[in-house]
Chains A and B, each alone.
Chain A
């Protein structure tokens, strides 16, 4: 119980940001991440996220690949340009090996194909937090 609370409090200080244009993802994924014990912020676009004050607090980014306006790839490039080394987990409904390879080369932690299991997400998050 104590361990759990400690663990929980540590994790609560870790902010996972979800950026996805799909409402159902913004609705469901944060609940799951909260179940994992993280603090979660959700945005419907990359611009919205960049405009927010949350950038500095972000421990890990769960980013949709294809979005209207700035895409997940564009945001990845923008963050690198700004010198921000935030671990990114890409989520996408489309399987595309060439894009997958490209974003991984650019430093992404993982690319998860929707629909993904909770364990696959958990594993990717662990990797992003440097727990593995």
Chain B
């Protein structure tokens, strides 16, 4: 059956070509991605015309936009002149509006061609996308395979057009969005421009400040370096004494890291006995009573040992931009203090010995001076008696020895007046002076002694104090004496701050009055009576001379020295000196 086999072979070739065409049609869609409808239709029409040897293929696409539809056509090679898509549309109009089920249909005298077989294809299930019309003059058109290729191509095109439509919708949306974004961007750009201008303006101002800023930055850097590398401990705390920052030296001194310190207050790491004084001083800083203070106090190190520190604390008042803080410069004086403490015992022992030695030397000198004439008196008087007792009495000898007795008596009296002159400075130099100035000098001299005794001295010096006439040095001795008395009276006070208030004021009669108020042990009534008697003392190593000498000095200035008991702790010693009549 060669004919049959021939036709079978032909059939196979035909089917192969159909498969190849289908593959091509399916492959076409790959080229449509993102394409416009015209591109999709154009591509597939070109392929179909050549694959199926069509005379033409026409598409009418429904548009969503204003125009009712758009038309497109591709023609085969047999045309002398190619009509426009619109002309095809008009010619095909009866079929386009007719029942698509009547395809294939035959048109006669189609642009001068006697018989044209038309195949109608819907784009979309309800032809909602559009319609395609393929035409061929061949009598065998459309073969089964050709119909299949056309249907599949139409389906592919429909999918492509749908995607394209979705894409264009998306593009529209996104372009809408893009437009709005662009608009907003433009607005922003405008604002930006304004800002830029503003910034530029500001920058020009800032430019002028730049130098200052740079200098500030340099200064800040410098201070930071000072803080970090300072040889003394530097610590900042807030007004509740909570630690804000501490430099490496301070951390090393107390043995805590900065983080550990932040969890504590200064007072937490201060030895209990030193806390009250510290607290009081900080309170005074806050109340503006002082701008800074110095204190020697003890810290508990992290390892439990005690650190003696000499602190200078000042207050840095807050501004709008930064809160205030306490600035502490801290120096480790543990070594010095322990050496001092060891020395203290020795020193007080030595002081006592020195005092006793001085006294015994003095006593010896006095004894020698007085006993010499006394010895002469006794011897002469004895001789005199013996001469009178003689037989006969030696009257001449007795007279002579009696005369010597009187002479030695006078000599003894001279010795005592010489001693009095020695002990009381008779050549006092009286001058006009300001009691405030004299007081300030004494306070300045006493600073280290006050610190050693952990005493806080608060001066309250009057501004309207009259000048006084007197021996400035002697009055200063009195002030020093009263101060010393004050801190001695507080030497065993541990349960409260050791404070001395030195106050000067104009007294009721226009004179100058100075008072020294301590918070020490105070005076009991019994002691008060004897307070100013020479050699009365309540101190272990006292001589009991200070107050009596002080009183005699003040009285020589026509003044008065007295003491009162405080309502709370301690006592107040006061003296008044009349104002100079020369002023």
Are chains A and B native binding partners rather than an unrelated pairing? Answer: yes
Chain A residues with a Cβ under 8 A of chain B: 22, 24-25, 27-29, 31-32, 35, 66, 91, 93-95, 113-118
Instruction: Give Cα A66–Cα B376 distance, bound, in whole angstroms.
Output: 16
B379 x A29 contact (CB < 8 A): yes
A32 x B367 contact (CB < 8 A): no
B401 x A24 contact (CB < 8 A): no
B365-396: contact bitstring with A at CB < 8 Å (1 yes, 0 no)?
00110011111111110110011001000000
Range, interface on chain B = 20 to 34
- With A25-B376, A114-B372 known to touch, is A93 a contact of B367 (CB < 8 Å)? yes
Instruction: Give Cα A112–Cα B387 distance, bound, in whole angstroms.
Output: 23
Contacts of A116 in B (CB 8 A): 375, 378
14 other A-B residue contacts (CB within 8 Å) besides A29-B379, A93-B368, A116-B375: A22-B372, A24-B411, A28-B379, A28-B380, A28-B408, A31-B383, A35-B387, A66-B368, A94-B367, A114-B371, A117-B378, A117-B382, A118-B382, A118-B383
Instruction: Give Cα A94–Cα B371 distance, bound, in whole angstroms.
Output: 8
List the A residue with the shortest CB-CB distance to B379.
A28
Partner of B372, one of A32, A93, A113: A93
Contacts of B401 in A (CB 8 A): 28, 31
List the A residue with the shortest CB-CB distance to B377.
A115
Contacts of B380 in A (CB 8 A): 28, 31
A25 x B364 contact (CB < 8 A): no
CB distance from A51 to the nearest CB of B (A): 25
Instruction: Give Cα A66–Cα B373 distance, bound, in whole angstroms.
Output: 15
List the A residue with the shortest CB-CB distance to B364.
A94
Contacts of B551 in A (CB 8 A): none
List the B residue with the shortest CB-CB distance to A33.
B383
Contacts of B411 in A (CB 8 A): 24
CB distance from A66 to the nearest CB of B (A): 8
CB distance from B354 to the nearest CB of A (A): 19
CB distance from B516 to the nearest CB of A (A): 40
A28 x B371 contact (CB < 8 A): no
Instruction: Give Cα A40–Cα B305 distance, bound, in whole angstroms.
Output: 77
Instruction: Give Cα A12–Cα B375 distance, bound, in whole angstroms.
Output: 25
Contacts of A114 in B (CB 8 A): 371-372, 374-375
Q: What 10 A-B pairs have minimum CB-CB distances, sorted nearest first?
A: A114-B375, A24-B376, A93-B371, A118-B382, A115-B378, A115-B375, A28-B379, A35-B386, A32-B383, A115-B374
Asked if B207 is an interface residue, CB under 8 A from chain A, the answer is: no
List the A residue with the shortest CB-CB distance to B371.
A93
A27 x B372 contact (CB < 8 A): no
Asked if B397 is an interface residue, CB under 8 A from chain A, the answer is: yes
CB distance from A27 to the nearest CB of B (A): 6
Asked if B352 is an interface residue, CB under 8 A from chain A, the answer is: no
B400-426: contact bitstring with A at CB < 8 Å (1 yes, 0 no)?
010010001001000000000000000
Instruction: Give Cα A66–Cα B401 distance, bound, in whole angstroms.
Output: 25
Instruction: Give Cα A66–Cα B375 distance, bound, in whole angstroms.
Output: 15
Contacts of A32 in B (CB 8 A): 379, 382-383, 386
List the B residue with the shortest CB-CB distance to A1.
B391
Instruction: Give Cα A32–Cα B390 distance, bound, in whole angstroms.
Output: 12
A sample of 13 cross-chain residue pairs with beta-carbon separation below 8 angstroms, ordered by A number, consists of: A25-B376, A27-B404, A28-B376, A32-B386, A35-B383, A93-B367, A93-B368, A95-B367, A114-B372, A115-B374, A115-B375, A117-B382, A118-B386
Contacts of A24 in B (CB 8 A): 372-373, 375-376, 404, 408, 411
A115 x B368 contact (CB < 8 A): no
- With A28-B404, A32-B386, A35-B386 known to touch, is A115 a contact of B379 (CB < 8 Å)? yes
A31 x B375 contact (CB < 8 A): no
Instruction: Give Cα A50–Cα B374 distance, bound, in whole angstroms.
Output: 28
Instruction: Give Cα A115–Cα B380 distance, bound, in whole angstroms.
Output: 11
Partner of A31, one of B367, B373, B377, B397: B397
Contacts of B371 in A (CB 8 A): 93-94, 113-115
CB distance from B300 to the nearest CB of A (A): 51
B302-317: contact bitstring with A at CB < 8 Å (1 yes, 0 no)?
0000000000000000
CB distance from B550 to the nearest CB of A (A): 32
Contacts of B375 in A (CB 8 A): 24-25, 28, 91, 93, 114-116
Contacts of B382 in A (CB 8 A): 32, 117-118
List the A residue with the shortest CB-CB distance to B411.
A24
Contacts of B374 in A (CB 8 A): 114-115
CB distance from A60 to the nearest CB of B (A): 17
CB distance from B386 to the nearest CB of A (A): 4
Contacts of B387 in A (CB 8 A): 35
Contacts of B397 in A (CB 8 A): 31
B33-74: contact bitstring with A at CB < 8 Å (1 yes, 0 no)?
000000000000000000000000000000000000000000
A28 x B383 contact (CB < 8 A): yes
CB distance from B394 to the nearest CB of A (A): 8
Instruction: Give Cα A118–Cα B379 distance, bound, in whole angstroms.
Output: 7
CB distance from A31 to the nearest CB of B (A): 5
Instruction: Give Cα A22–Cα B377 distance, bound, in whole angstroms.
Output: 13
Instruction: Give Cα A95–Cα B367 distance, bound, in whole angstroms.
Output: 9
Instruction: Give Cα A32–Cα B373 distance, bound, in whole angstroms.
Output: 16
List the A residue with the shortest CB-CB distance to B373.
A24
Instruction: Give Cα A114–Cα B372 distance, bound, in whole angstroms.
Output: 7
Instruction: Give Cα A27–Cα B405 distance, bound, in whole angstroms.
Output: 11
Contacts of A115 in B (CB 8 A): 371, 374-379
Contacts of B377 in A (CB 8 A): 115
CB distance from A63 to the nearest CB of B (A): 14
Contacts of A35 in B (CB 8 A): 383, 386-387, 390
List the B residue with the shortest CB-CB distance to A31.
B383
Contacts of B379 in A (CB 8 A): 25, 28-29, 31-32, 115, 118
Instruction: Give Cα A119–Cα B411 distance, bound, in whole angstroms.
Output: 24
Contacts of A29 in B (CB 8 A): 379
List the B residue with the shortest CB-CB distance to A66.
B368
Contacts of A22 in B (CB 8 A): 372, 376
Contacts of B386 in A (CB 8 A): 32, 35, 118
Instruction: Give Cα A117–Cα B378 distance, bound, in whole angstroms.
Output: 7
CB distance from B216 to the nearest CB of A (A): 77
List the A residue with the shortest CB-CB distance to B389.
A35
Contacts of A117 in B (CB 8 A): 378, 382
Instruction: Give Cα A32–Cα B377 distance, bound, in whole angstroms.
Output: 12
Most buried by B among A22, A27, A114, A117: A114
Most buried by A among B371, B387, B408, B411: B371
